[in-house]
Amino acid sequence: MVVEADGGSRGNPGPAGFGAVVVDAGTGEVLAERIGGLGRTTNNVAEYQGLIAGLRAAAELGAESVDVRMDSKLVVEQMSGRWKVKQPHLQPLARQARELAASFARVTYRWVPRERNRRADQLANDAMDAQARGAPPTLEEHTAPPPEKDPERDAGGPSQAALIGIPEDNAAEAAQTAPPAAWSGATGTPTRLLLLRHAQTEHSAQRRYSGRGDVPLTDLGMRQAGAAARRLAAMDDIVTIVSSPLRRARQTADEVAAATGAEIVLEDGFTEVDFGAWEGLTFAEAAARDPDLHRRWLADPAVPPPGGESFAEVHRRVRRARDTLIAKHGGATLVVVSHVTPIKTLLWMALDAGPSVLYRMHLDLISLSVVEFYPDGHASVRLVNDTCHLE
């Protein structure tokens, strides 16, 4: 199959979008289209997101080999291995694209002039136009129905449903109940992380940036932590509690330890992002203090607050901390008591998504999320932002 992909940004950074088209290399028939708005980001991020969407669509259609055609010299050269990916905010996207490409027998990358990439270019512009009119960022998928055929006869083997032991007639129903490993092909026993955000503090109640400031829990926060602890105490096989060393996380972890009997291990890698000069400010106050920087920070994970830490830097230290946990406690169930940014980062890793997921995900105080990391590199997100223990 041929993947035509494009992306763009009005302002760079600015309202951005991508488009991707999957074409049958033999007939020229359009098999699938992808169009998505990305909010405010850069041209290069949008180009990579177009490539990722196109590769994912080709994989869903069962392509064995893919010819990628793009008018982005940067993406083509980086994916071909001739240029290094030096920009930190592009490295996760390039890694995600390479992981998708590894699922095909062969992938080639070819630069084409824009006039020969008109279909994908039009989709990307449609996404940018929609956002300029005030529409929220979206992802739309259009896939042509596959031709009628016998999957075993035409593909030379059993269908995907048959490969995992599901009768064809019951495949749709089984999709609702099958374990994630059956669908992803993951192997081995996963390391299960129960991700618990800390309970309420004065800063969180006032919606202030709260990074390295060591504020304690409020009285309500202590009651919230106790409710979460009672919920976790009903879960089996918790080996240990890994906590950020900041007081609000440690107080929450203490409640969990008292309820479960598990020991607490402190991990600096799960500390909240350093907001620098914005520490203690509200969103509006930080935006008024540094309007241009604040806008760029919201669009680019490589941009740090003044005197603070970028989301890209958080990603690196959280990944190191996660890898250390898996190396030491592989296959076990752990409670990780942390903050909104490290928890979002772990979910970002598990979802294998682009960095825009950081801005599109909401996590409440004392919310529980669950993710499993498999030893073969697969992951499964089982729960996000659940606060039923507060009811």
Active-site position among 4, 47, 198, 315: 198
Give me the DSSP letters along 47-92.
Answer: HHHHHHHHHHHHHHTT-SEEEEEES-HHHHHHHHTSS----TTTHH
> What are the residues facing 40 on neighbouring strands?
15
**Is residue 272 annotated as a catalytic residue, yes or no?**
yes
Residue showing tokens 């995900």: 361
* Beta carbons of 376 and 188 less than 8 angstroms apart: yes
Alpha helices by DSSP H, the chain? 43-60, 73-80, 91-101, 118-132, 151-155, 160-163, 171-174, 180-184, 202-205, 219-233, 247-260, 283-289, 291-299, 311-329, 340-351, 357-360
- Asked whether the beta carbons of 310 and 304 are under 8 A apart, the reply is yes
198 is catalytic: yes
Distance CA 19, CA 127 (A): 8
Q: Could you say which of 4, 267, 272, 309 is catalytic? A: 272
Contact call for residues 55 and 101 (beta carbons, < 8 A): yes
**Cα–Cα dist 8/17, whole Å:** 6
Neighbours of 257 (CB within 10 A): 20
Distances from the Cα of 163 to the Cαs of 76, 93, 159, 179, 281, in angstroms? 35, 31, 6, 15, 55
Q: Which residues are catalytic?
A: 198, 272
